[in-house]
């Protein structure tokens, strides 16, 4: 129950409650947060006029500490124009932006919610409207169907979708529109619900190694769905939607069946196989009743424990440590890449992509990473 702030003790209690509410996304919490913000602002203006920094000042202070430039804030705040508006005090951060700044940059929530008027958007965003249009164009969503009904249908296939707005790992881009992401997730679950797969058996690094060997086959794309179904995993591809910033996801169906979903956002073989094995790692190591949803934007670097484990699993499944240690070097030639791929029984694009990432040179082997060789395979 919200009460007037009449003392410093009441003020501290209000700040604690605001910290809790800013991490929630439901309408009731957002409404309570807006009312609480008004009370906090009134108290601070009356009793602590010199202590409360503006959000822009708090952000600039952390930028100075970390040697960051405005463009470094785009993954957390959005487009260049939005970053400029917030840094200049012309626009206050939204609830999602505050969450992102706190999680990724460690800026205290108190510094971002004090004298600021939070933006809580209740109407559908442009990204949500675009996602709805795209899903109808793809034939995934009925033309006359409302998005709320579409998501409700998906929730029957996987009740865990209701937890989506509380699911934010460090591998989720801070610019993500969770309404659009919810629409994408609903579409994936409805597609996955139609798939029949075998009872899941052991899924470990050896099974993953066997999976990577499909990459050398000319018919790898047609064999992939069946291969994964045989080990108990449903596999779905669905186009990347506006506002989702997504490469792939691991999702648990209502019956416990794991689902791997890929967007094919980057049309390259090296990216496809790493993303697939990364999500396979989540299925093997992390997906459970307690963790039914894991989303990944692999363009975002992460120190999250489960993401680090999934990265390592994917790297070792694609190229065993012993082979990489013996064969890789900063001055590898095209012939060296091809030989390492032969030793690991994988497509050379995977080796070329690993080398480019490890050595930070994205000009080398650019013709070997399999550009424009993924989406066309699935369109067939």
With b for 16 or more beta-carbon neighbours within 10 A and e for fewer, the 249-277 pattern comes to bbbbbeeebbbbbbbbbbebbbbbbbbbb
Are 109 and 201 in the same domain? no
At 93, is the secondary structure helix, strand, or coil?
A: coil
Residue 280, in any domain of the structure: yes
Q: Please identify, among 113, 142, 170, the residue that sits at the C-terminal boundary of a domain.
A: 113
Are 215 and 245 in the same domain? yes
pLDDT score, position 247 = 94
pLDDT at residue 144 is higher than 50? yes
Residue 3, in any domain of the structure: no
Are 366 and 309 in the same domain? yes
Query: In terms of pLDDT, which residue wins out, 31 or 192?
Result: 192
Q: Please identify, among 113, 136, 156, the residue that sits at the C-terminal boundary of a domain.
A: 113
Are 292 and 236 in the same domain? yes
Q: What percent of the chain has pLDDT over 90?
A: 42
Are 225 and 258 in the same domain? yes
Of the candidates 89, 69, 65, the one whose C-alpha atom is nearest the C-alpha of residue 80 is 69
Lowest mean pLDDT among 30-39, 166-175, 243-252, 344-353: 166-175
pLDDT score, position 50 = 41
Residue 86, in any domain of the structure: yes
pLDDT score, position 235 = 97
- State the pLDDT confidence band at 180, using cuts at 50, 70 and 90: confident
Average pLDDT along the chain = 85
Sheet holding 258-262, edge to edge: 234-237, 258-262, 248-252, 293-296
Residue 122, in any domain of the structure: no
Residue 335, in any domain of the structure: yes
Are 53 and 201 in the same domain? no
**In the beta sheet, which residues pair with residue 293?**
251
Tens-place pLDDT, residues 152-179:
877 776 665 555 544 445 566 767 787 8
Are 245 and 365 in the same domain? yes
pLDDT score, position 124 = 66
Are 134 and 233 in the same domain? yes
Q: How many domains are contained in the chain?
A: 2
CA angle 79, 80, 86 (to 5 degrees): 90
Are 15 and 106 in the same domain? yes
pLDDT score, position 166 = 47
208-234 average pLDDT score = 96
227-238 average pLDDT score = 96
pLDDT at residue 249 is higher than 90? yes
- State the pLDDT confidence band at 342, using cuts at 50, 70 and 90: very high
pLDDT score, position 57 = 83
For residue 188, give Cα distances in angstroms to 137, 238, 362: 15, 7, 32
Residue 118, in any domain of the structure: no
pLDDT score, position 303 = 65
Q: Please identify, among 69, 88, 113, the residue that sits at the C-terminal boundary of a domain.
A: 113
pLDDT at residue 119 is higher than 60? no
**Domain span holding position 145:** 127-379
CA angle 335, 340, 345 (to 5 degrees): 125
Q: What percent of the chain has pLDDT over 70?
A: 88
**Residue 268 DSSP code:** B
Query: In terms of pLDDT, which residue wins out, 21 or 301?
Result: 21
pLDDT score, position 76 = 85
- State the pLDDT confidence band at 214, using cuts at 50, 70 and 90: very high
Residue 121, in any domain of the structure: no
Are 237 and 293 in the same domain? yes
At 106, is the secondary structure helix, strand, or coil?
A: coil
Are 134 and 74 in the same domain? no
List the CATH number of the domain containing 108: 1.10.260
pLDDT score, position 45 = 67
Are 146 and 220 in the same domain? yes
SS (H, E, C) 185-201: HHHHHHHHCCCCCCCCC
Tens-place pLDDT, residues 293-338:
898 988 877 667 889 999 999 999 999 999 999 999 999 999 999 9
Give the span between the Cα atoms of 37 and 42, in whole angstroms. Answer: 8
Residue 119, in any domain of the structure: no
Give the span between the Cα atoms of 117 and 147, in whole angstroms. Answer: 29
pLDDT score, position 162 = 54
At 26, is the secondary structure helix, strand, or coil?
A: coil
Query: In terms of pLDDT, which residue wins out, 234 or 45?
Result: 234
Size (the chain), residues: 380
pTM of the model: 0.70
């Amino acid at each position: 129950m919200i009460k007037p702030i009449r003392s410093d003790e009441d003020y501290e209690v209000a700040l604690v409650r605001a910290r809790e509410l800013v991490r929630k996304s439901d309408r009731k919490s957002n409404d309570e947060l807006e009312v609480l913000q008004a009370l906090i602002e009134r108290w601070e203006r009356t009793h602590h006029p010199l202590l409360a920094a503006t959000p822009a000042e708090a952000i600039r202070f952390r930028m100075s500490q970390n040697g960051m430039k405005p463009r470094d804030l785009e993954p957390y705040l959005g487009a260049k124009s939005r970053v400029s508006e917030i840094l200049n005090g012309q626009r206050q951060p939204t609830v999602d932006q505050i969450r992102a700044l706190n999680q990724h940059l460690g800026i205290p929530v108190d510094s971002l919610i004090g004298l600021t008027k939070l933006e809580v958007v209740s109407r559908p965003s442009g990204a949500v409207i675009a996602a709805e249009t795209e899903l109808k164009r793809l034939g995934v969503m009925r033309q006359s169907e409302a998005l709320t009904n579409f998501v409700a249908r998906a929730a029957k296939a996987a009740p865990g979708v209701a937890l989506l707005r509380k699911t934010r790992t460090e591998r989720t881009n801070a610019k993500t529109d969770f309404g659009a992401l919810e629409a994408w997730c609903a579409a994936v679950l409805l597609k996955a619900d139609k798939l029949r797969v075998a009872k899941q058996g052991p899924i470990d690094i050896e099974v993953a190694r066997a999976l990577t060997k499909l990459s050398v086959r000319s018919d790898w794309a047609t064999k992939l769905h069946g291969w994964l179904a045989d080990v108990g995993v449903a596999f779905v591809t669905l186009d990347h939607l506006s506002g989702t910033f997504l490469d792939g996801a691991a999702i648990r169906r209502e019956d416990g069946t794991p689902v791997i979903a890929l967007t094919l956002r980057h049309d390259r073989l090296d990216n496809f196989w790493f993303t697939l094995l990364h999500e396979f790692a989540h299925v093997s190591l992390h997906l459970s009743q307690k963790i039914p949803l894991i989303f990944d934007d692999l363009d975002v670097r992460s120190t999250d424990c489960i993401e680090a484990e999934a990265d390592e699993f994917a790297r070792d499944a694609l190229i065993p440590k012993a082979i990489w240690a013996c064969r890789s070097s900063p001055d590898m030639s095209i012939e060296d890449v091809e030989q390492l791929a032969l030793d690991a029984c994988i497509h050379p694009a995977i080796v070329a992509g690993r080398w480019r990432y490890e050595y930070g040179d994205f000009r080398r082997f650019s013709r070997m990473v399999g550009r424009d060789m993924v989406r066309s395979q699935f369109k067939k």
